[in-house]
Amino acid sequence: MFNESVSEEVLLAEFQALIPKVQLALEPVIGESLPAAQIEACREHRLQ
């Protein structure tokens, strides 16, 4: 479940906190540390 009323500021802060975790998880897969600039968020929303 997602909270659609989260402010952009909160969303960006939470995403920044996730970047090190994503880097840590991907390092064994790609064999090196992935620069934070190469990790980006994408939000997709569709009404059905």
Rounded to two decimals, the pTM is 0.60
Residue type, 43: R
Distance separating alpha carbons of residues 21 and 18, to the nearest angstrom: 5
- One-letter amino acid at 29 equals V
Per-residue pLDDT averaged across 2-20, rounded? 80
- pLDDT more than 90, % of the chain: 17
Structure confidence at residue 25 (pLDDT)? 92
Give the pLDDT confidence of 27-39 residue by residue, as tens digits. 999 899 888 888 7
In sequence order, the 6+-apart residues with CB closer than 8 A to the CB of 27 are 33, 34
Q: How far is it between the farthest Cα atoms of the chain?
A: 40
More confident residue, 18 or 6: 18
